[in-house]
């Protein structure tokens, strides 16, 4: 048998590689970017995305499902993970998607974005009976404040130069309320809609806590790994715009005010 010359072998290997056919498992080539090729992550953070009797639901989840339908894409799996893990995945692994994420100047160049889905209002919350006047984070600089680690509220607190000795970080919003109710911290910082949902879910009394100050408002988006092609981002964004007529039904379903859904 006559063996092919070295140049022919090299050309054949290059052709196979370019076609994405060198993977013996028969997987698609890495450059096959489609909605179906992405891995979707979300944290358990109602009302945007959360588990309800084992089912993934929420305002952003429903919005994404409408986008898939608009694009003719079958429903994809959504992985509910702690925020820190999801953030790490979408930051480091091409093909990863995380929601729902506040779009801040510090994060702008780290990801590509679809949205806004809705606007979150971040507030400082105290136990019932707290009567010290607080109008901003600066007024609370000597108080112990708890936040979800790596959440936008954590970044806000750090950016305000709040002393690190007075910052407690946890992994869930449930832990925030537990720390506050047990008097382990003076205040917690979180979104207003998230606070209302966790109070209801964990069956706290509405009189146990109260909002002492609104700190900021941020647009909430779906974040994609920064290598995601612009054409795919534009496809998702176009699908979102075409599903805006469903906005009022989603607002009513999750008991969210129109101001929280405002497109800015």
pLDDT of residue 223: 99
Is 235 domain-assigned? yes
Domain count for the chain, please give it. Answer: 2
Is 26 domain-assigned? no
Give yes or no: residues 101 and 166 share one domain: no
pLDDT of residue 65: 98
Give yes or no: residues 211 and 226 share one domain: no
Give yes or no: residues 101 and 36 share one domain: yes
Is 172 domain-assigned? yes
Give yes or no: residues 233 and 107 share one domain: yes
CATH at residue 109: 3.40.190.10
pLDDT of residue 259: 52
Give yes or no: residues 108 and 173 share one domain: no
Give yes or no: residues 194 and 128 share one domain: yes
Give yes or no: residues 228 and 143 share one domain: no
List the domain range (segments joined by +) for residue 233. Answer: 32-118+219-255
pLDDT of residue 200: 86
Task: Tell me the pLDDT tens digit for each residue of 65-88.
Answer: 999 999 999 999 999 999 989 999
Is 18 domain-assigned? no
Q: For every one of its 264 residues, what pLDDT tens digit does the chain have, with 9 covering 90 and above?
A: 444 444 443 334 344 333 333 333 344 444 589 999 999 999 998 889 999 999 999 999 999 999 999 999 999 999 999 998 999 999 999 999 999 999 988 899 999 999 999 888 999 999 999 999 999 999 999 999 999 998 899 999 999 999 999 999 999 889 999 999 999 999 999 999 889 888 988 999 878 999 999 999 989 999 999 999 999 999 999 999 999 889 778 878 887 765 544 433
Whether residue 100 has a cis bond before it, omega within 30° of 0: yes
Give yes or no: residues 145 and 92 share one domain: no
Give yes or no: residues 131 and 172 share one domain: yes
Give yes or no: residues 126 and 213 share one domain: yes
Give yes or no: residues 53 and 87 share one domain: yes
Is 244 domain-assigned? yes
pLDDT of residue 75: 97
Is 73 domain-assigned? yes
pLDDT of residue 248: 78
């Amino acid at each position: 048998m006559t063996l092919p010359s070295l140049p022919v072998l090299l050309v054949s290997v290059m052709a196979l590689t370019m076609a994405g056919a060198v993977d013996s498992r028969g997987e698609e080539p890495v450059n096959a970017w489609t909605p179906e090729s992405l891995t979707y992550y979300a944290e358990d953070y109602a009302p945007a995305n959360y588990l309800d009797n084992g089912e993934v639901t929420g305002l952003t989840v429903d919005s994404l499902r409408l986008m898939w339908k608009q694009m003719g894409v079958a429903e994809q799996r959504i992985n509910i993970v702690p925020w820190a893990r999801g953030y790490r995945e979408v930051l480091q692994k091409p093909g990863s998607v995380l929601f729902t994420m506040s779009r801040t100047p510090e994060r702008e160049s780290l990801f590509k974005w679809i949205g806004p889905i809705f606007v979150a209002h971040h507030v400082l919350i105290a136990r019932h009976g707290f009567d010290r006047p607080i109008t901003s984070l600066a007024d609370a600089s000597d108080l112990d404040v708890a936040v979800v680690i790596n959440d936008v509220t954590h970044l806000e607190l750090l950016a305000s130069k709040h002393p690190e000795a007075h910052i407690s970080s946890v992994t869930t919003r449930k832990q925030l309320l537990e720390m506050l109710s047990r008097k382990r911290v003076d205040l917690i910082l979180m979104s207003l809609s998230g606070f209302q949902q966790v109070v209801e879910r964990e069956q706290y009394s509405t009189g146990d806590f109260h909002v002492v100050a609104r700190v900021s408002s941020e647009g909430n988006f779906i974040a994609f790994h920064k290598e995601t092609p612009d054409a795919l981002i534009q496809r998702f964004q176009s699908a979102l715009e075409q599903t805006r007529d469903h906005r009022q039904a989603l607002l009513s379903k999750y008991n969210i005010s129109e101001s929280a859904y405002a497109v800015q």
